[in-house]
Amino acid sequence: MSNTNPSFELSPLIVGMMRLGEWGVKMNTSELETFVEQCLELGLIDFDHADIYGSYSTETDFGQLLKKRPDLRSKIKITSKATVRLVSDRRPEHRINYYDSSKSHILTSLDRSLKELSTDYVDLFLIHRPDYLMNPHEVAEAFDVLKSSGKVKHFGVSNYSTSQFDLLQTYSPVPLVTNQVEVSILELGAFSDGTLDQCLKHKIIPTVWSPFGGGAIFQDTDDERVLRIRKAAGILAEKYNAQIDQILLAWILKHPSGIVPVLGTSKFSRIEKALEATKIELTHQEWYELLEASTGVRVP
């Protein structure tokens, strides 16, 4: 199996939208317009959404921007996700949080996202979370409909194990071009559970969420693990005339699978700093020094 897809490309960094709306800083349309234009000036054109963000409101906010500035649509690429059914006042039929990868839900969710986003297609559509009840034949049928209708250009998954990825790819009529998973100096699973190996093997671009571990590294703490990481990263930050967050991002980017981080910040200055981090080339030894700081165990 080879999922090479030369037509699928991403910016060096992906701009995450989860915290820009109701779940975060609550940007209005004008503020969002300025933010998007600033990102475009840096060459960052990928914007990561999900139907549930902002309790089913953030895609609507972004759609208001595209109504105001329809010229922006041709300059950007939009990712959306579905299959999480979230308890929300906007979805009163949801008694609990659960996952639904049925064909009907995928098609309905994507159509609703397109309406909210004020666009007739998304560049990338992801199955947001693994569904224990997933019927891969149904998902494949949904993908076929969305691809043939022109509503989705590329497809992928998020938070999938290697076996779940392989199962869906076996039946999918289109190549899965990414698996968006959690990776950071505090979340190391993807390095050893086969996720990044699979991406390398099949030339799949891994995208990663929470690349700074939810900000835990930068909070006041007496956690020994965090303190070890700060110390090791601080030494490298001095060497590279950088800041600790830039070193930790460079650590992720060092992996040969070509990881593309999804940034969750609403502060443009942090996005600028993150882009600068793509120029930092840590040595193998420095990479393992940070790994050792995280695990607290010497490499045998």
Q: What are the catalytic residues? A: 53
Question: For residue 260, is it within any domain?
Answer: no
| Per-residue model confidence (pLDDT) at position 6 | 65
The answer to whether the beta carbons of residues 246 and 273 sit under 8 Å apart is: yes
Question: For residue 207, is it within any domain?
Answer: no
Question: For residue 290, is it within any domain?
Answer: no
Question: For residue 98, is it within any domain?
Answer: yes
| Per-residue model confidence (pLDDT) at position 214 | 87
How far is it, in rounded angstroms, from Cα 229 to Cα 130? 31
CA 224 vs CA 27, 81, 185, 288: distances in Å: 36, 36, 14, 18
Question: For residue 1, is it within any domain?
Answer: no
Question: For residue 155, is it within any domain?
Answer: yes
The pLDDT tens digits of the residues spanning 73-94 come to 999 999 999 999 999 999 999 9
Question: For residue 52, is it within any domain?
Answer: yes
26 Ramachandran zone, left/alpha/beta (phi>0; psi -120 to 50): left
The answer to whether the beta carbons of residues 260 and 205 sit under 8 Å apart is: yes
CATH number of the structural domain spanning residue 44: 3.20.20.100
Domain count, the chain: 1
Per-residue DSSP letter, 21: S
Regarding pTM above 0.85, the answer is: yes
Q: Whole-number mean pLDDT of the chain?
A: 96
The pLDDT tens digits of the residues spanning 220-268 come to 899 999 999 999 999 999 999 999 999 999 999 999 999 999 999 999 9
Which parts of the chain sit beneath pLDDT 50?
1-3
**Which structural domain, as residue segments, surrounds residue 69?**
14-182
